[in-house]
Amino acid sequence: MEIELSEKLAALAHPKRLALFRLLMRRYPDGVPAGEIAEALEFKPNTASAYLSVLKQAGLITQQRFGTSLMYAADLPGLRGMFDGLLSGCCRNRPDICSPATSEEKTMPTPELPFNVLFICTGNSARSLLAEAILNTEGGGRFRAFSAGTRPSPGPRPEVMSLLQAKDIDTSGLCSKDLDEFSAPDAPQMDFIFTVCDHAANEECPAWPGQPMSAHWGLADPVKAEGTDAECRLAFQQAYGLLRNRIRAFAALPFETLDRMSLQHRLDGIGQLNSSD
């Protein structure tokens, strides 16, 4: 156990390998191709390959082949094993030192005490704005939704505004916002944070006060759709449908009966929903 534990700690002791592992944790449970990892962290391909090999040998990440691509994901059992080894060996199982970190269970959101939810993407011009508008409309007043971009665009895409208006969703206050606005001292404290594009999930985010729960709900960028005008409009419609389905599943969660770990599993599962209408 001590050799295995030392290997895990040594693998994460290198700052660049730690950055790689943290990226995979942000994208969990999704797998990420090696090329995207190298691009996101500005590693040379051979350097990324070497770091991935060390983390895999330490039992901290998994590797799977899909077609011609190798996909890497964080190995949570391996990570938990590392913590178990640290706590049981170093703390001698003293409950006052080693008891698992817990937090209060979530309560049901109400119009008087709504949950604050932040959707993040890169440009904050399409997907995250759609999610903000949908949750504010369909959340029954139990949620306050916001959105922001790591590199925000000048404003919402006209296709987004037209689509929402066709759905009778209010767009009067919808605008592109910088993520930094939500890390300011006077910003609302978030309960949930969801990344809806891979680029934003690959980037380091601020340390959020209150330890909000987070998940990656990535989906294809409708802005990049190619083809006829009808095909491009369909891409925005499909993004809207997918986000609406995920948001409806999120709003229907029995928050009052879920502990933090169970809730996290449900949030991750919602991010795997791929059907839309």
> Tens of pLDDT along 66-104?
888 899 999 988 888 787 777 665 554 455 555 554 445
Domains 2-93 and 115-270 belong to one CATH topology:
no
Which of 3.30.70.20, 3.40.50.620, 3.90.230.10, 3.40.50.2300 is the CATH number of 115-270? 3.40.50.2300
Catalytic residue, from 98, 121, 175, 232: name it.
121
pLDDT band at 1, cuts 50/70/90?
very low
CATH architecture observed for domain 2-93: Orthogonal Bundle (1.10)
Res. 167 pLDDT band, cuts 50 70 90? very high
125-150 pLDDT, tens digit each: 999 999 999 999 999 999 999 999 99
Q: Helices 2-13 and 15-27 meet at what angle, rounded to 10?
A: 90
121 is catalytic: yes
pTM tops 0.85, yes or no: no
Contact of 255 with 107, CB cutoff 8 Å:
yes
The Cα-based distances of 208 to 87, 118, 122, 182 in angstroms read 26, 11, 18, 9
The pairing of strands 143-149 and 32-33 is unpaired
The dihedral region occupied by 42, where left means phi > 0, alpha psi between -120 and 50, and beta the remainder, is left
Selected residue with higher pLDDT from 28 and 194: 194
pLDDT value at position 97?
A: 52
Question: Active site includes 175?
Answer: no
Count the Cβ atoms, other than its own, within 10 Å of residue 47. Answer: 14
**β-bridge mates for residue 213, sequence order:** 192
- pLDDT at position 264 over 60: yes
Active-site pick, 98, 175, 205, 232: 205
- In this prediction, residue 18 carries a pLDDT of 95
Question: What are the sequence ranges of the domains in the chain?
Answer: 2-93, 115-270
